[in-house]
Amino acid sequence: MQKTKTYVSDTVSRLQPSGIRRFFDLAASMKGVISLGVGEPDFITPWSVREACILSLEQGYTSYTANAGLWELRKEISDYLACRFEVQYDPANEIIVTVGASQALDVSLRAILNPGDEVIVVEPSFVSYAPLVSLAGGVPIPIQTSGKHQFKLQAEQIEQVVTPKTKALIICSPNNPTGTVLNREELVQIARIVAKHDLLVISDEIYAELCYDEQYTSFPAIAHMRERTILINGFSKGFAMTGWRLGFIAAPKDLAMAMLKIHQYTMMCAPTMAQYAAIEALRNGAGDVEEMKKSYRQRRNFFVQSLNEIGLSCHMPGGAFYAFPSIESTGMTSEQFAERLLLEEKVAVVPGYVFGASGEGYIRCSYASSLEQLQEAIRRMRRFLERL
């Protein structure tokens, strides 16, 4: 008998493919493109970390680890969070090593959502949040931040969308795609509203190491927030380890144990060799991170000032490696701008609309590229703008 129906679930059918995809295909088909579209470091993982992984393979550490991850690694993560971010988590039952921060997000959402529960997503945002909420049976509720406020979430915006069904709020600071960092006072304001409405916060702190102008504040370090926060972090950005797929969750015991149930059934454990590498990263990688951070900061300063000079107004992003300039002065949509810039000058940027409605009128430029590439990209963008 012939198949007469689609076997794909309704939830998945309704998911939109990421808008980034189309650009990827277009840019990948062209030669001589300078890509400012890459959401990952341009550094290769520090050699000492790669070498530690090789050693672990030579020694034959190739079996599963505990579901939550190697004990030594969880202890290192616990110490790291305590020293670096002033938050305390018990390695025995409050830390889970995951396959990247992406899996950490997935596990978190599935652990907390009942069908129809609402999750507030602060846009412009990383493209996975809303789909992951939907896949977990929840309903993503966007909040649009504004360029007027440098895309900082205003605490009162939460109140405007909270309903009895609101379960959680996802925040990401430093933010992808805007680079915006929320400082302690701003987080305290958010915490006040979160407590008032008894919300859970999923704090995606994957860019925490890349915060350039001020001391970073981790959300669970705000008074009374630890008990209602799932902290997500990992090795991809700060330690330049994207391909290793290694992240972690830190959360109060009851939440962590719920998430561990999902993790043990779906993932068993994160890759063993990557976990050994991560131990080395935490023990001896701080110097490498510091060097990379300095280099990003210099490139940020150069790139953002240059964008403003060529007429694309851009706030100075406090962290991550993204500049998010406005292209409204050109009268084009972000998609038109990105497409023409790619076709006419071979510079790939990501149109802001893919990160949410409030990203329209902006483009995301990653400055994690060599200085020479950034200089050339600016030359090409200047030429492009002058021609308009």
Partner 1 sequence: MKLTEKEIEIVELLEKNARLPIDTMAKMVSLSVSEVEHIIKKLEEAKVIVQYATIVDWRKVDGHEGVTAMIDVKVTPKRGVGFDEVAERIYRFPEVKSVYLMSGAYDLSVVIEGRSMSEIAHFVSEKLSTLDSVISTTTHFILKKYKHDGTVFEQGDQDRRIVVAP
Interaction of residue 24 with partner 1, rule CB under 8 A = yes
Task: Measure Cα distances from 334 to 151, 308, 319, 328 in Å.
Answer: 17, 17, 22, 8
Provide the minimum distance between the beta carbon of 277 and partner 1 in the complex, in angstroms, as a whole number: 18
Provide the minimum distance between the beta carbon of 207 and partner 1 in the complex, in angstroms, as a whole number: 13
Provide the minimum distance between the beta carbon of 101 and partner 1 in the complex, in angstroms, as a whole number: 12
Interaction of residue 352 with partner 1, rule CB under 8 A = no
Provide the minimum distance between the beta carbon of 114 and partner 1 in the complex, in angstroms, as a whole number: 28
Question: Nearer Cβ to partner 1, position 38 or 258?
Answer: 38
Question: Nearer Cβ to partner 1, position 114 or 298?
Answer: 298
Question: Nearer Cβ to partner 1, position 59 or 215?
Answer: 215
Q: How far is 375 from 371, CA to CA, in rounded Å? A: 6
Both tokens assigned to 109: 């959402």
| Residue 123, Ramachandran bin (φ over 0: left; ψ between -120 and 50: alpha; else beta) | beta
Interaction of residue 348 with partner 1, rule CB under 8 A = yes
Task: Measure Cα distances from 215 to 84, 148, 187, 290, 319 in Å.
Answer: 10, 23, 13, 14, 11
Which range binds partner 1 by CB under 8 A, 31-39, 59-67, 80-88, 183-191?
31-39
Number of residues that bind partner 1 (CB under 8 A): 29
Provide the minimum distance between the beta carbon of 24 and partner 1 in the complex, in angstroms, as a whole number: 4
Which range binds partner 1 by CB under 8 A, 26-34, 150-158, 196-204, 244-252?
26-34
Question: Nearer Cβ to partner 1, position 6 or 29?
Answer: 29
Are 95 and 250 a contacting pair, CB within 8 Å? yes
Both tokens assigned to 10: 């309704």
Interaction of residue 40 with partner 1, rule CB under 8 A = yes
Report residue 270: phi and psi, to 5°: -75, 160
Both tokens assigned to 359: 């990203």
Provide the minimum distance between the beta carbon of 108 and partner 1 in the complex, in angstroms, as a whole number: 18
Asked if the peptide bond before residue 351 counts as cis, ω within 30 degrees of 0, the response is no
Interaction of residue 375 with partner 1, rule CB under 8 A = yes
- Window 274-313: contact mask with partner 1 (x via CB under 8 A): --------------------x---xx-xx--xx-------
Q: How far is 210 from 216, CA to CA, in rounded Å? A: 9
- Window 112-151: contact mask with partner 1 (x via CB under 8 A): --------------xxx-----------------------
Helix 20-28 vs helix 334-345: angle between axes, to the nearest 10 degrees?
10
**Which residue from 310, 275, 317 is spatially nearest to 385, judged by alpha carbons?**
310
**Secondary structure (3-state) at 353:** helix
Query: What is the DSSP secondary structure assignment for residue 37, as one 8-state letter?
Result: -
Are 171 and 153 a contacting pair, CB within 8 Å? yes
Which helix (H) or strand (E) is 134 found in, with range? helix 129-135
Question: Nearer Cβ to partner 1, position 159 or 214?
Answer: 214
Provide the minimum distance between the beta carbon of 350 and partner 1 in the complex, in angstroms, as a whole number: 6
Interaction of residue 170 with partner 1, rule CB under 8 A = no
Interaction of residue 27 with partner 1, rule CB under 8 A = yes
How many helices (H) and strands (E) the chain has is answered by 13, 12
Interaction of residue 16 with partner 1, rule CB under 8 A = no
Q: How far is 269 from 252, CA to CA, in rounded Å? A: 20
Provide the minimum distance between the beta carbon of 264 and partner 1 in the complex, in angstroms, as a whole number: 27
Q: How far is 373 from 385, CA to CA, in rounded Å? A: 18
What is the contact surface with partner 1 in residues (CB under 8 A)? 18, 20, 23-24, 27-28, 33, 35, 37-40, 42, 126-128, 176, 294, 298-299, 301-302, 305-306, 348, 350, 369, 371, 375
